[in-house]
């Protein structure tokens, strides 16, 4: 079975650090896909990558432009399902290729994630193919997104002082205690 690739835009990437993070695949958003000589509409269902995360989690590698014949520039430090999509964070290696990729992301020249996946289970919804389950193969930094409306944050240090989820929980507790 052929591998499929999908991209999502990087919206902000001005912070320091070596961890590239954001929503690699938005859920529920329809994109027009042209590949293998065909054009069709596609979207990913919530939970489409749950099995991949469970089985491969931090083994997923980060490449540049799906150049899988070259060495990866990083590996996943976090992959998780959110209501909005597949959230991903990748530690970028301290190599020339990793440094170049981070510079391009920070400068806004490379502003998208793209995923390589193998379809496992699909369903039709009118003229849209909905990816119900997909095996995540790799994630790449690219310049042109298939899903331009995806929310991807940028670059941070590997170990932020407080995760977004932890910050939300703390804020909820503060609000409830008032």
Tell me the pLDDT tens digit for each residue of 96-121. Answer: 999 999 999 888 888 888 899 999 99
Domain ranges of the chain: 4-177
pTM of the model: 0.79
Tell me the pLDDT tens digit for each residue of 73-98. Answer: 999 999 999 998 999 999 999 999 99
Q: Are 25 and 8 in contact (CB under 8 A)?
A: yes
Percent of the chain scored above 90 by pLDDT?
56
Listed in sequence order, the residues at least 6 apart from 171 whose beta carbon sits closer than 8 Å to its beta carbon are: none
Secondary structure, 3-state, 23-52: EEEEECCCEEEEECCEEEEEEECCCCCHHH
How far is residue 74's CA from residue 139's CA, in Å, rounded to a whole number? 10
Residue 14 reports pLDDT greater than 50: no
Residue 168 reports pLDDT greater than 70: no
CATH code for the domain defined by 4-177? 3.20.16
Residue 67 to residues 70, 72, 101, Cα–Cα distance (Å): 6, 8, 13
The contacts found for 34-42 with CB under 8 angstroms, 24 or more apart, are: 35/4, 35/5, 36/2, 40/127, 40/129, 41/127, 41/128, 41/129, 42/6, 42/128, 42/129, 42/130, 42/131
pLDDT, position 58: 86
- Look at phi and psi of residue 75 and say left if phi exceeds 0, alpha if psi is from -120 to 50, else beta: beta
Of 82, 81, 83, 87, the C-alpha closest to 139 is: 87
pLDDT, position 152: 46
Q: How would residue 5 be classed by pLDDT, with cut points 50, 70 and 90? A: low
Residue 170 reports pLDDT greater than 80: no
Average pLDDT, the chain: 83
Maximum Cα interatomic distance, the chain, rounded to a whole number of Å: 59
Q: Out of 11-15, 74-78, 148-152, which region has the weakest mean confidence (pLDDT)?
A: 11-15
């Amino acid at each position: 079975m052929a591998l499929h690739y999908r991209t999502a835009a990087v919206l902000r990437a001005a912070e320091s650090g070596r961890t590239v993070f954001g929503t690699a695949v938005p859920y529920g958003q329809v994109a027009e896909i042209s590949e293998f000589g065909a054009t069709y509409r596609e979207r990913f269902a919530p939970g489409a990558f749950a099995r991949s995360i469970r089985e491969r989690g931090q083994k997923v590698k980060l490449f540049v432009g799906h150049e899988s014949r070259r060495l990866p520039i990083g590996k996943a430090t976090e992959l998780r399902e959110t209501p909005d999509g597949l959230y991903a964070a990748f530690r970028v290696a301290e190599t020339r290729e990793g440094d170049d990729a981070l510079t391009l992301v920070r400068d806004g020249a490379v502003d998208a994630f793209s995923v390589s996946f193998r379809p496992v289970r699909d369903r039709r919804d009118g003229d849209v193919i909905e990816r119900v389950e997909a095996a995540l193969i790799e994630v790449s930094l690219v310049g042109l997104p298939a899903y331009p409306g995806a929310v991807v944050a940028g670059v941070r240090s590997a170990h932020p002082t407080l995760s977004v989820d932890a910050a939300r929980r703390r804020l909820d507790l503060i609000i409830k205690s008032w």
